[in-house]
């Protein structure tokens, strides 16, 4: 299990390639990558992600550990960035490896649902001279209920 | 005790951290003390339903006890991912 919180970009290809490599017992690897989206109407110049150093790492590790107790996983990877990001940049990725795909898919979805609403990150959007904090969505909170 | 603020809570209060001496037994009592400090604190803590709290880096509730706590953080609902 590896949890990384960093400001710098990460190399998705290299991370995906290295993840669970050499583990021929794990027949399924799922990766998910979050990318900064351009909003439909107003151009989003950039985004700044604030986090809570110390708690962030603990919260992510706790979420990953919980996934390991719920599903049969061979390995888990979570990388989440903070700081300034522009549209098209990768914000975060999760990877899960399991013997079978169902565990890998479900665990990846669980990780995503929880780190949206339970990991201490806050996004601020910058569009021209406008700035605003991204509000948490009710759907994201509701998504936790299915687990 | 260190009291930390993040995102718009930090912006509204104007700084990221206060070091305070308090006898507050619960988070709610601490919030009452902070509200009484200055208008900008009262504004930041006007609507607790818009806030979340962590005690010693664990998410908790506003009625949580503060006995032995070293660090309390206030922030809006999280938007990771």
Look at residue A41 and tell me whether its pLDDT is greater than 80: no
State the pLDDT at residue A37. Answer: 85
Residue A125 token pair? 């959007």
**Do the domain assignments include residue A47?**
yes
Query: pLDDT class for A44, splitting at 50, 70, 90?
Result: confident
**Do the domain assignments include residue A142?**
no
State the pLDDT at residue A43. Answer: 65
Q: Which residues of chain B have pLDDT under 50?
A: none
Looking at per-residue pLDDT, the higher value among A39 and A113 belongs to A113
Is the ipTM higher than 0.85? The answer is yes
Look at residue A70 and tell me whether its pLDDT is greater than 90: yes
List, for residues A82-126, the tens digit of each pLDDT value. 999 999 999 999 999 999 999 999 999 999 999 999 999 999 999
List, for residues A3-31, the tens digit of each pLDDT value. 999 999 999 999 999 999 999 999 999 99
Strand A46-51 and strand A121-127: the pairing is antiparallel
**Interchain CB contact of B78 with A (< 8 Å):** yes
Q: How many angstroms separate the CA of residue B26 from the nearest CA in chain A? A: 20
Query: Best of A3, A52, A116 to disrupt the B interface by mutation (most B CBs within 10 Å)?
Result: A52
What is the biggest distance separating any 2 CA atoms in chain B, rounded to whole angstroms?
37
- Ordered alpha helix ranges (H), chain B: 7-13, 27-37, 39-44
List, for residues A127-139, the tens digit of each pLDDT value. 888 899 999 999 9
**Do the domain assignments include residue A117?**
yes
CA distances from A125 to A16, A50, A134, A136 (A): 29, 11, 7, 13
Distance (Å, whole) CA A62 – CA B58: 10
Range of the domain at A22: 2-136
**Do the domain assignments include residue B13?**
yes
Q: What is the CATH number of the domain that holds B70?
A: 3.10.20.30
Element containing residue A14 per DSSP (H, E): helix A12-18
- Mean pLDDT (chain B) is 97
**Do the domain assignments include residue B80?**
no
Look at residue A40 and tell me whether its pLDDT is greater than 70: no
Range of the domain at B47: 2-75
Q: What is the CATH number of the domain that holds A92?
A: 3.90.1170.40
**Interchain CB contact of B81 with A (< 8 Å):** yes
CB contact under 8 A, B78 and A133: no
State the pLDDT at residue B2. Answer: 98
When computed from its CA atoms, the radius of gyration of chain B, rounded to whole angstroms, is: 12
Q: Which B positions 9-48 lie with beta carbon below 8 A of chain A? A: none
Query: pLDDT class for A42, splitting at 50, 70, 90?
Result: low
**Interchain CB contact of B69 with A (< 8 Å):** no
CB contact under 8 A, B7 and A52: no
Q: How many CB atoms lie within 10 A of CB A80?
A: 24
Q: Which residue is it, tokens 């999760």?
A: A94
- When divided into structural domains, chain A yields a total of 1
Q: Write the DSSP string, A17-79.
A: HHTTTT-TT--EEEEEEEEPPPPSSS---EEEEEE-TTHHHHHHHHHHHHHHHHS--SEEEEE
Residue A2 token pair? 């590896």
């Amino acid at each position: 299990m590896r949890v990384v919180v960093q400001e710098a970009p990460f190399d998705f290809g290299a991370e995906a390639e290295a993840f669970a490599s050499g583990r021929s017992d794990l027949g399924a690897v799922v990766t998910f990558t979050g990318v900064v989206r351009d909003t439909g109407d107003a151009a989003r110049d950039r985004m700044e992600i604030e986090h809570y150093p110390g708690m962030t790492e603990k919260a992510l590790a706790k979420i990953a550990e919980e996934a390991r107790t719920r599903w049969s996983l061979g390995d888990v990877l979570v990388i989440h960035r903070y700081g300034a990001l522009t549209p098209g940049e990768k914000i975060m990725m999760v990877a899960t490896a399991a013997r079978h795909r169902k565990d890998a898919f479900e665990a990846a979805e669980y990780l995503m649902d929880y780190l949206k609403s339970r990991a201490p990150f806050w996004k601020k959007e910058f569009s021209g001279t406008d700035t605003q904090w991204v509000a948490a969505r009710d759907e994201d909170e509701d998504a936790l209920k299915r687990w | 005790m260190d009291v930390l603020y993040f995102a718009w809570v930090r912006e509204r209060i104007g700084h990221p951290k206060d070091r305070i001496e308090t006898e507050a037994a619960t988070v709610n009592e601490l919030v009452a003390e902070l509200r009484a400090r200055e208008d900008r604190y009262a504004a930041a803590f006007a609507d607790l339903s818009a806030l979340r709290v962590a005690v010693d880096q664990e998410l908790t509730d506003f009625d949580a006890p503060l006995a032995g706590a070293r660090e309390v953080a206030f922030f809006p609902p999280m938007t990771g991912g």
